[in-house]
A and B are shown apart, each in its own frame.
Chain A
Amino acid sequence: MLRYLLVLGLSAHDGEEIIQESFLLLFQHLRQGKSRENLRGWVFRVARNLALKQRAANQVHLRRAVELNEALPLDRNPNPEEQLQSKVRQRRLLSVVRALPEQDKSCLAMRAEGLHYREIAEALGISLGSVAASLARSLARLSRADGG
């Protein structure tokens, strides 16, 4: 969830605070005997709402995410040439994601986090069809960027 909040442009510190807040709200939600259906979607939705509010307040927008992306470390690949290629590719894919509209970026990041379509739909308040259409658009862009 923190990775997703970072994708939305929050600082790690704000992201951590929002996660704490979201889980406290989840706790209260459960204690009040409310619906237990699609809880992962629910908690992502609450976190997203808090994050968007916080982001608007901070006026951070995506700058921080861009800065972090640009400072990405090399992965643990032993071969320097492959390591460089891998990093270049990583940056290329991430720069495609950065340029996506907010909703597409959210769909893709949540799917990458293993959320099911139903959970993403709940978190974003959109239909299953919209989630699939958004993912299809983003994947097409990623494939193009990857020379696929």
Chain B
Amino acid sequence: MKEEHLHISDEQLLLHACGEVPASRSSQIQVHLETCSQCRNRLQELQSTLAEFGEVHRNAWDAVLPPVDERRAQLRTRLAELAEQERRNEWFGLTWMDVVEHRSAAAVAGIMIAACLLVAIRLYRPTEGSQPGVSRSMSASVGHWEEPDLRLTPGATVTVTENDICNGTNAKPEPVVPVTLKRKVFEEYGLAPRPDAYEVDYLITPELGGATDIRNLWPEPYRDTVWNAHVKDQLEDRLHQMVCHGDVDLATAQHDISADWIAAYHKYFHVSHPLADSSSSNTASLTGSLPRT
């Protein structure tokens, strides 16, 4: 069969045009194109359709794009803040390394004492509302907020009644927290935005009349802690059921979940640990879909 009759497919033509076929195949295609006007025309047609579409696409969307300057400035500020935050973290890291390198006995002793004191304070601090042996909120000190900082997130509600909540008018999926608000929540907690690791969660769930308000949102770890977002979901479902069955009144449910949700979990489930191992579940995690780089 003659080479001229084996026309090149559109895919191969496109790949060839942008230099994405191996050199040996590329030279075969080149030879073919020199002798086959049909394929030459086809390639030209494909390229001109693409170019024309590109123009239409840009014209069409440019007409509705908002101005970019303000957003660009905003991004610059955020990047500068992030860089500053990381620089500070690095500084702390260096100080530690410095201390270790120079074997500064006094400094090491001082740090050891401070560490011991911290442990002692933790061990002997009364664990209000929790059962003995239950470790809670420790991870807040390393940047995980099992429970919110109540000064930042005291909880906020909208005006609803048991009827609204239980009759289905409020039984919609949780309202989506706008990206801007999520970012503010991360900023407020001094965390870099990590949608893969934290759910910006409602302290008082909308199922119980919680408001989409910064005072009712905090970055809750998905899985790095025992008391995580999945465990809290169990409590939210439980409280919603109890309110609707008349076992608990709405105000009490709102109060208990916002004052100390882990204590509320103990209270309403009568257990000291989460019922199932929810820490390994991984709903809505972004990391899985990020490129492996």
Contacts and interface: CB of A to CB of B under 8 A. Distances in A.
A122 B176 CA distance: 29
B290 A112 contact: no
A18 B179 contact: yes
Interface in A18-46: 18-21, 23-25, 27-29, 31, 34-35, 37, 41-42, 45-46
A57 B176 contact: yes
Contact of A125 (B192, B193, B291): B291
Interface in B152-198: 176, 178-180, 183, 192-193, 195
A85 B176 CA distance: 42
A72 B63 contact: yes
Interface in A104-148: 108-109, 111-114, 116-118, 122, 125, 128-129, 132-133, 135-136, 139-140, 142-143, 146, 148
A3 B66 CA distance: 11
A6 B75 CA distance: 19
- Best-surrounded residue of B10, B53, B58, B192 (most CB of chain A within 10 A): B53
B10 A140 contact: yes
A24 B14 contact: no
Interface residues of B, number: 48
B82 A21 contact: no
A110 to B, nearest CB: 10
Nearest to B47: A139
Given A24-B79, A49-B290, A136 B61 contact: no
Interface in B39-94: 45-46, 49-50, 52-54, 56-66, 71, 74-75, 78-79, 82-83, 86
Prevailing SS type, chain B contact patch: helix
Interface string B1-34: 0000000011110110010100000000000000
A18 B14 CA distance: 31
Contacts of A90: 56, 59-60
Interface in A71-89: 71-73, 75, 89
A144 B86 CA distance: 54
Contact of A3 (B10, B61, B79): B61
A23 B75 contact: yes
Contacts of A143: 45, 49
A109 B291 contact: no
A143 B284 CA distance: 40
A19 B79 CA distance: 13
Prevailing SS type, chain A contact patch: helix
- Chain A interface residue bracket vs B: 35 or more
A94 interface: yes
Given A6-B61, A14-B179, A45-B290, A136 B14 contact: yes
B61 A24 contact: no
Contacts of A17: 178-180, 183
Interface in A44-101: 45-46, 49-50, 53-54, 57-58, 68-69, 71-73, 75, 89-90, 93-94, 97
Contacts of A75: 59
B95 interface: no
B138 interface: no
Interface of B: 9-12, 14-15, 18, 20, 45-46, 49-50, 52-54, 56-66, 71, 74-75, 78-79, 82-83, 86, 176, 178-180, 183, 192-193, 195, 284, 286, 289-291, 293
